Amino acid sequence: MERIPVGILGATGMVGQQYIRLLADHPWFEVAYVAASPQTAGKKYKDALKNGWIVAGEIPSGVAGLTVHDVADVKKAAGECALVFSAFEMPDKNMIRKTEEMYAAAGMPVFSNASAHRHTSDVPMLIPEINAHHLDIIPLQQKARGWEKGFIVVKPNCSIQSYIAPIHALLQKGYDIKRILVTTMQAVSGAGYPGVSSWDIIDNIIPYIGGEEEKTQFEPYKILGSIKNGTFTERTGIKISATCTRVPVSDGHTAVVSLEFGKKKPRRDTILNTWRSFRGEPQKFDLPSAPRQPIHYREEDDRPQPKRDRDTDKGMAVIVGRLRECPVLDYRFVALSHNTVRGAAGGGILNAELAFKKGYLSI
């Protein structure tokens, strides 16, 4: 099929570059439009990269010569692309929210990495293997806002990607989880570029990341929730306590998780079989960016490790290990996901692939 022209908002940043890298040979989408700050508008993309190309490989030749446009120039984007991936940053989240709404109002679906719309009552916060049915709210979102073709879908914070899929797989099998204690060890790339000062992170662990614990604790409730009367109702009955730390790792967020079940506690082999057999709609539809197996379990005592395991299954899988009984709660395990692939650009692309396959993109 002829590839769909897409735009990248915030194309010069780390996540924007990751989008461009991952879309270079995509069978459905083609990067046709790049936008960033007004300071870079008018420059060729390869000349607009203040800190250079900072992700793997080289700048795709088809993008290097594209002219960078101002993110605020919605009319220009509407004439050149059918949808946009939003990875731009502003200190004012309200401005991000309004800008994304302007793109949707102009007829372009917006697949966002930003947090501005994560708790908007009619905007799905999507992990396709978990809550693909949340896309069903799109027609209601469009009707309420008067949008004909445009809509907004967001992906959740990268800090929850590693542990929410293993949790969902168990809930889906009918096991009632009451309490979750999670400590994340988050890579420096999660802070963008140049990110954390080397003086702060080398030979060190930083036991605080602003806003991360709140996102890690509360975003799962919406993801695991349901649609009622045209809005999202959060999942109840689960308590989550999170501590989020920054560690000297380039890519890959790790989570140490302890679970307490309700009356029905599964056996260890049942949990492992549940994880290994877990599949979602991305696997059903064989989406281009989907991992063949969403959850990989490592039997070794010293795995998962970011350096060895973050690129598993195109960097889109969750890698779990060290499942064992917990002397305080019921079970504990370690989980890992690639924060700039699954947790950022790759997750956004997968969201768009699912929306396309389910007929929500009017191309």
List CB contacts of 81: < 8 A, sequence separation 6 or more: 5, 6, 7, 32, 33, 108
C-alpha 119/C-alpha 142 separation (Å) is: 17
C-alpha 130/C-alpha 345 separation (Å) is: 18
Give SS3 for 212.
helix
CA triple 166-171-175, angle to 5 deg: 115
Q: Does the CA dihedral 168-171-175-181 come out positive or negative?
A: positive
The pair of structure tokens assigned to 93 is 């989240």
pLDDT on residue 89 = 86
List CB contacts of 113: < 8 A, sequence separation 6 or more: 15, 85, 86, 87, 154, 155, 344, 345, 347, 348
Give SS3 for 354.
helix
pLDDT on residue 353 = 98
Q: Please classify residue 43 by burial: count the beta carbons closer than 10 Å to its beta carbon, then call 0-12 exposed, 13-18 middle and 19+ buried.
A: middle
C-alpha 328/C-alpha 119 separation (Å) is: 33
Provide the phi-psi class of 49: left if phi over 0, else alpha when psi is between -120 and 50, else beta: beta
Q: Please classify residue 53 by burial: count the beta carbons closer than 10 Å to its beta carbon, then call 0-12 exposed, 13-18 middle and 19+ buried.
A: middle
| Cis peptide bond upstream of 304, omega within 30 | yes
The pair of structure tokens assigned to 95 is 């401005």
The residue type at 265? K
Cα radius of gyration (the chain): 20
Q: Are 138 and 124 within 8 A, CB to CB?
A: yes
CA dihedral 163, 164, 166, 172 (to 10 degrees): 160
Q: What is the largest CA-CA distance in the chain?
A: 62
What the chain holds in terms of domains, given with CATH numbers, is 4-157+344-357 (3.40.50.720), 159-338 (3.30.360.10)
C-alpha 288/C-alpha 88 separation (Å) is: 24
Residues designated as active site: 158, 253
**Closest Cα partner for 255 from 168, 200, 198, 333?**
333
pLDDT on residue 68 = 98
Q: What is the pLDDT along the chain (363 residues), one digit of tens a residue?
A: 799 999 999 999 999 999 999 999 999 999 999 999 999 999 999 999 988 999 999 999 999 999 999 999 999 999 999 999 999 988 888 999 999 999 999 999 999 999 999 999 999 999 999 999 999 999 999 999 999 999 999 999 999 999 999 999 999 999 999 999 999 999 999 999 989 999 999 999 999 999 999 999 999 999 999 999 889 999 999 999 999 999 999 999 999 999 999 988 999 999 999 999 999 999 999 999 999 999 999 999 999 999 999 999 999 999 999 999 999 999 999 999 999 999 999 999 999 999 999 999 976
Q: Are 5 and 44 within 8 A, CB to CB?
A: no
C-alpha 67/C-alpha 253 separation (Å) is: 34
pLDDT on residue 151 = 98
Q: At what angle do helices 346-357 and 14-23 cross, to 10 degrees?
A: 50
Q: What is the pTM of this model?
A: 0.97
Tallying the residues shown for the chain, one arrives at: 363
pLDDT on residue 1 = 73
